A and B are shown apart, each in its own frame.
Chain A
Amino acid sequence: MMQNSLTQNSFIEKLKRLNIAYIVIVCLLGAIGVTMLYSAAHGSWSPYAERHLVRFAMGLGLAIFIAFLPLRLVFKMSYLVYFAAIVMLALVQVMGVTAGGATRWLDLGIRVQPSELAKIGIVLAAARFYHQRQTDTIRSFSAVVFVAVGILIPALLTVIQPDLGTCLLLMMVGAGVMFFAGVPWGYFASAVVAGLAFIPIAWNFLLHDYQKGRVLTFLDPSRDPLGAGYHIIQSKIAIGSAGFWGKGFMQGSQSQLQFLPEKHTDFIFTLLTEDFGAAGAIVVIGLYIALILMGVYMAMRNLNQYCSLVIAGVTTTLFVYAFINMAMVMGLMPVVGLPLPFLSYGGTSLLTLMVSLGLVLNMDLNRYNHLPGASGLSSGRYF
């Protein structure tokens, strides 16, 4: 291949190719997050806003660092990350730390949440798998089952923690990568049918009482106006009463009067809408749409399937996070406890997002670089 500036890997050339617009949008979301966390603490930098700002800045630094890692290194590490996540998820079952009724953490000097690593591991591993196969292999039944099992193993290890929200996220992100890789439509249709058939079984045997409660409360919030329904009712009142321009910064009466629970984490969108109204909500929704469309565009313009699929996987993650969170606080979906990307307070999910952001930027920087692909492997073999 001819050497030109597009494939040169000098730092300066890479810097020129860095997708600045994408970073700016992420920073805008982060800034909105800091502003709302300032409001959540009734006009105080502590405890949320200043820490979110610091974490965001450090996370962004990490993302830029990851962006400039050699592509081949990331490619090589793909399976390693995936298997590390599996091993750690298994270890959680053996020696995990329990808090609030769920065993989700490992104590390795600091507390880590392996299901976060799994989010990245699934995307990387699936992308690499498809990158090294022929297209007809990708479509074969056995390959589809193989990848599906690879996604289901960490998903199952997550759901028994129990963490239904993250489990669903893992499955949807995995499905997203499969979709972009070109797995035929029929498989997705069958999966949806199988999933629907599975609901009665899950309801009767697998769901925990609190999860059932959330679904029932979603269907009828007045069933439990003090417990789970309290969140939804208060959130809807806050959003519904805000008007187009909102009640003004830090003037949201529902939030400031403490009617709104978890306003700094899962319900930050409610806080935003109460203070800044539909206008603020539309701006944030617009920013997410822009992120997702830019992600799809970056996936399309990349010359390597691996890179495209990693970008697509992260984009799916962002979409699922943002959509489920906003749908949840508006009462479109049951409360599942997923944060709003870049806005919600919380170090772990922000770290994962920033690593994902770094991966997207990395893939995009290397969009013209050739990665050895399926040519070396004969068709039909995938083990």
Chain B
Amino acid sequence: MSTTDQKQQLITRRGLIFSAAMTLPFSALLGKLYLLQVVEGKEYKRLSDKNRISLKLTLPDRGKILDRDGEILADNFKAFRLVVVPERAKDPKDVLNRVGQLVTLTEDDQKQALRKIAKSPSFVPVGVKDFLSFPEVSRVQVNLPDLPGVDVDELQARKYPNTNLASHVLGYMGPVTKEQLQGSTDPLLSQPDFRIGRKGAELHFDKTLRGRAGTNHVEVNASGREVRIINSVDPQQGTDLHLGLVKSVQKEIEERLAGNRGAVAVMDLTDGTVMAMASAPDFDPNGFTYGLDTSTWQDLILNPNRPLLNRCTQGVYAPGSTFKMLVALACLEEGLITPDERIDCTGRMKFGNRFFHCWEEEGHGPTNMHEAIAKSCDIYFYELGHRLGVEKMNYYAGLFGLGKETGIFLPESKGLIPSEAWKRKTYNQRWQKGENLITAIGQGYVLTTPIQLLTMTARLATGLNVHPLMEKQAEPPVFDPLPFKPENMKIIQDAMTAVVTKPYGTAYGSRLTQTAIAGKTGTSQVVSRRHHKDTKLEDILEHERTHALFVGYAPAEAPRFATVVMLENAGGGSSAAAPVGRDALLAALKWMRQT
């Protein structure tokens, strides 16, 4: 017999054995089906058919969000909701009409409810109206016998007792999205009308805030009454979230910001926690939980001032003169200048075939580093930018956390610190020497977020590699020292102190009598056109006005708090931003004295 024949015989034999053996597993399947349906079928029918909600989940309480001192920022409340179970309602339209006599129902509500009833299976309760008032609840309860299929459900809802306070940090709640549903095995998410964190802390800490569902094995009879609880497992409540925010400081800076477009943040330098972060305009997260009405939503989305944008972390702005400290420090570290060398400022300088101007048109005269920072002399820094070059500026800016995300849980923009390679890649052009000059005064391509500037200020104040942290810290984290010579840091810190405390400083008007503030103002241009310094702010188109910036810390001799202020199109840093920065630091100092 040939090999081929042998092999075919083998296959035939084995195939027949395989087919015969298959009866076993498939009989097992059919046997199990018989067991489930016929032998145990009655029990399962009882568990399912008669008792449709056999395994009911009990919702855990969502964790609260608290500020550093335990003040409540986000809380829950129980509300009542009117639902209709279509199969028990017989004639839903008629039932809804009768409900309408007890509860205020708009025509829209009725239509929507009818549409939902038509779409969902007949035994699924359909929400008709959320947030019933107590009189409404009692009216419905009394009339329940005449309202077949109608039920009042308890509903847990999120409440933000301080309305708009810290809305960009807290975020808001909303319906579960399809992606969230697919990425999770938590049975809570598929509960009808379950709400989940959609932005900010609510989103980032959703899992720990949410907790775990409990179970209630309940028997419910055909008319929907619970017969008995077979067994129950308590839900695991959500864990509270303690943020580093301080409500009083947050409140004060928000009030100070009101009416502007801008951002203010304050950091506690002992542990890097952000104790206040405000972005204006803001929004009320309460409205999101159970759906905004269309016009409110349109207002939020179409508002040209973009209230949903967190300007602290997502807004990018030219840092202007607040960029100068790190340029000066870099030059000292690199040995490109001594603190005493004077550079003559005549109000403008020629470089190539272009003139570069100082904001002080008459010029500052021969200026050393201390004066250049205190008076914010542009000519001095043009020269430093020329000596330093963009690559070094990029390197030192990186050490101060500019041009990259700080790593907090909120959505962040990266900003931009240019480099030769970046320009070649982006514009396919060589880096121009003149661009070193404008980069050194924080203009040109440079873009930073306020939270980056706050990080920079914290590092300048402490000499440590501080990272911003949003959560309350049980133990202060250890930050590494930055690789700079202490004497160089001191020159910069002294100059920043002079900015606010010395009559020649640009923020002298915002000084405090008891505590010395150190800081730096910045005025960043939005359009390249320069306006004469005597031009009144009101005479400039709003969107051509400069952004006003201030970074600072206090007390100057023993830094405890740092702040950043950014006001869009608000004019000059010293006139508009510095007073806000002063008040932010003042609020933090006041809180410190109280605790």
Do A and B belong to a common assembly?
yes
Partner of B11, one of A237, A293, A300, A332: A300
Residues of B near A241 (CB, < 8 A) are 41, 44-45, 47-49
Please, which residues of chain B bring their CB within 8 A of the CB of A42? 119-121
CB 8 Å contact bits of A317-348 with B (1 = contact, 0 = none): 00100010011001110000000000000000
Task: Give the residue of B19, B123, B191, B192 whose beta carbon is less than 8 angstroms from that of A253.
Answer: B123
Contact of A285 among B26, B43, B124 (CB under 8 A): B26
A374 to B32, CA, bound (A): 45
Contact yes or no, B48 A282, CB < 8 A: no
Mask of A280-315 contacts with B, CB within 8 angstroms, 1/0:
011001000100110011011001010011001000
- Bound: A285/B55 CA distance, A: 29
- Residues A182 and B187 in contact, CB atoms below 8 Å apart: no
Whether, in the assembled complex, A213 has its beta carbon less than 8 Å from a beta carbon of chain B, the answer is no
Minimum C-beta distance from A174 to chain B (A): 15
A4-12, A60-68, A255-263: which one contacts chain B?
A255-263
Given A243-B41, A296-B19, A251 and B26 contact (CB-CB distance below 8 Å)? no
Q: A257-B52, A303-B4 are in contact. Are A239 and B18 (CB under 8 A)?
A: no
- B53 located at the interface, meaning its Cβ lies under 8 Å from any Cβ of chain A in the complex: yes
Chain A 254-276: CB-based contact to B (< 8 A → 1; otherwise 0): 10111101000000000001000
Assess whether A165 is interfacial by the CB under 8 Å rule: no
Question: Can you name the residue of chain A whose Cβ is closest to the Cβ of B192?
Answer: A258
CB <8 Å contact, B187 and A240: no
Name the one of A254, A273, A278, A289 contacting B22, with C-beta atoms under 8 angstroms: A289
Residues of A within 8 A of B213 (CB): 226
Residues of A with C-beta under 8 A to B11: 180-182, 299-300, 305, 308-309, 312
Interface contact A180-B15, CB-CB below 8 Å = yes
Residues of B within 8 A of A373 (CB): 3-4
Q: How far is the CB of A60 from chain B (nearest CB, A)?
A: 26
Is the Cβ of B185 less than 8 Å from the Cβ of A261? yes
Residue A92 is within 8 A (CB to CB) of chain B in the complex = no
B interface residues, how many (CB within 8 angstroms):
51
Interface status of A349 (Cβ within 8 A of chain B): no
Tell whether, in the assembled complex, residue B7 and residue A135 are in contact, meaning their CB atoms are under 8 Å apart.
Answer: yes
A76 to B73, CA, bound (A): 69
Q: Are A226 and B212 in contact (CB under 8 A)?
A: yes
In the assembled complex, the Cα of A338 lies from the Cα of B185 at a distance in Å of: 17
**Of B3, B18, B215, the contact of A180 (CB 8 Å cutoff):** B18
Contact residues in B for A312 (Cβ distance below 8 Å) = 11, 15, 18
Taking a contact as CB atoms under 8 Å apart, the answer to whether B7 and A234 are in contact is no
A244 at the interface (CB under 8 A from B): yes
Known: A180-B11, A225-B233, A319-B22. A240 touches B44 (CB 8 A): yes
Q: Identify which of residues 8-24 in chain B touch chain A, using a CB-to-CB cut-off of 8 Å.
A: 8, 10-12, 14-16, 18-19, 22
Q: A296 and B18: CB pair below 8 A? A: yes
Cα(A367)–Cα(B192), bound, Å = 56
A228 (CB) vs chain B CBs: closest residue: B185
A residues apposed to B, CB below 8 Å: 42-43, 47, 134-135, 179-182, 225-226, 230, 233-234, 236-244, 250-251, 253-254, 256-259, 261, 273, 277-278, 281-282, 285, 289, 292-293, 296-297, 299-300, 303, 305, 308-309, 312, 319, 323, 326-327, 330-332, 373-375
Knowing that A134-B3, A181-B11 touch, tell me 5 more A-B residue pairs with CB under 8 angstroms: A240-B37, A240-B40, A254-B48, A327-B28, A373-B4
